[in-house]
Amino acid sequence: MANIDKYNFAGKKAIVRVDFNVPLDENGHVTDDTRIRGALPTLKKILADGGSLILMSHMGKPKGKVNPKFSLAQIREDVAKALGTDVKFAPDCANADEAVAELKPGEVLLLENLRFYPEEEGKPVGIDKADPGYDAAKKEMKERQKDFAKKLASYADVYVNDAFGTAHRKHASTAVIADYFDKENKMLGYLMEKEVKAVDNILSDIKRPFTAIMGGSKVSTKIGIIENLMDKVDNLILCGGMTYTFAKAQGGKIGDSIVEDDKLDLALDIIKKAKEKGVNLILGSDCIAADSFSNDAKTIVCPANDIPDGWQGLDAGPETRKAFAEAIIPSKTILWNGPAGVFEFDNFTGGSRAIADAIVKATDNGAFSLVGGGDSVACVNKFGLADSVSYVSTGGGALLEAIEGKVLPGVAAVKE
């Protein structure tokens, strides 16, 4: 694998996999350009060296079909503004030879959404996993995926992967394409390097106490990482909607709170494992319960395991916030994924705010703090605290898989 800092892009065409999967409003305007800005160090280095840029990304889930709603043409101006230079556009990512041939050093070409082609994800379309022909269809699609990746590779002299958000996927543009470049001409971009290093800090260079805070709506989507973290952390804070699955599992009364009834045994198992491993498991003791799922609902403070019928826990209560802060503030390594309440409603952000404030304090005291996953990143942005933690990851699924200890195909492909 080459090193982006040492590589000289002068006179080279570089194809860069970026994560420009940015949120758009109903008029197709970018509402948050964090991901575009995240790629700038890599893109600017290539242009400054005298290289030309071919940018490729996915946006949304068009499921292998052309869909104007997900066209990257909508973000062309935003990319141009961020880069401070004109951006050309290729309306068909698999037929861009002419546009690529005309590309001069210092110029930028943005390819249309890769996922307009099913080959990008490499999953057979229109056939169910249970159908008898599925395996054959999958095999055929894998061959088509290779051809698609080869086509993309043919545009460029060098491949750079800077899309951490999709690094856990073995897609044509994130992994398969790397097979068509020799190891001197493929590399991670600056953003990817930073992300990989942040995960490494969490996994291999743990300063104690290590506190992980896992929130969000469900325990089922976080179980892999919770189990993995159990071997590493001193304190494990589980908050958000999963609080009520744990409360019910232990015989509590949770009113109308969100619950995964099929995960009650799993919750008890997590409690048992934490005890066996000597992990200090901290669950919400009290909550802010609401009489409806809305920002303007009436609220009461009550024990998380004694919520009246007709009420639902939507945020961590004051006692809980205090307990979370007491664990977080003296910590030296902190990982936060998932909010402590329905933070999208302004009246239920208090628990997440308390966590964010405690993380900022710990960071001021020298802790390494990593915040990752769409919703917790949205939280720190909402509170204006993104610059006050050590690292805000752009990856949701990719970050969790990396911390679970899984090898990310997007990273492995360029390293091979």
Q: Kindly list the residues in this chain that would bind ligand AMP in the complex (CB under 6 A).
A: 216-218, 221, 240-241, 258, 313-314, 338-339, 341-342, 344, 375
Alpha-carbon span 181 to 184, nearest angstrom: 8
Which residue of the set 88, 144, 150, 218 is catalytic? Answer: 218
- Smaller CB separation from ligand AMP, 218 or 253: 218
Exposure string of 191-216, with b = 16+ CB inside 10 Å and e = fewer, is bbbbbbebbebbeeeeeebbbbbbbb
Dihedral through CA 378, CA 170, CA 194, CA 233, nearest 10?
A: 70
Q: Which residue is nearest to ligand AMP (CB)?
A: 216
Per DSSP, helices labelled H in 205-335 are: 223-229, 242-249, 264-277, 318-328
Specify which residues 299 forms β-bridges with: 290
Find all residues with CB under 8 Å of 58, minimum gap 6, and list them: 21, 113, 114, 115, 120, 166, 171, 173
- Smaller CB separation from ligand AMP, 14 or 359: 359
Report, in Å, the least distance between residue 313 CB and ligand AMP: 5
- Smaller CB separation from ligand AMP, 76 or 218: 218
Q: Does 35 qualify as catalytic in the annotation?
A: yes
Find all residues with CB under 8 Å of 322, minimum gap 6, and list them: none
Residue type, 83: L
Q: Does 232 qualify as catalytic in the annotation?
A: no
Q: Does 278 qualify as catalytic in the annotation?
A: no
Report, in Å, the least distance between residue 317 CB and ligand AMP: 11
Which residue of the set 13, 17, 35, 194 is catalytic? Answer: 35
Nearest 5°: phi and psi at 53? -115, 130
Report, in Å, the least distance between residue 373 CB and ligand AMP: 6
Strand order from edge to edge, sheet including 286-290: 299-303, 286-290, 312-316
Residue type, 335: L
- Smaller CB separation from ligand AMP, 82 or 323: 323
Report, in Å, the least distance between residue 343 CB and ligand AMP: 6
- Smaller CB separation from ligand AMP, 64 or 372: 372
- Smaller CB separation from ligand AMP, 171 or 222: 222
The candidate with the shortest Cα–Cα distance to 336, out of 344, 348, 325, is 325
Q: Under a CB-based contact definition with an 8 Å cutoff, are residues 211 and 331 in contact?
A: yes
Report, in Å, the least distance between residue 345 CB and ligand AMP: 8
**Residues identified as active-site:** 35, 218, 374, 397
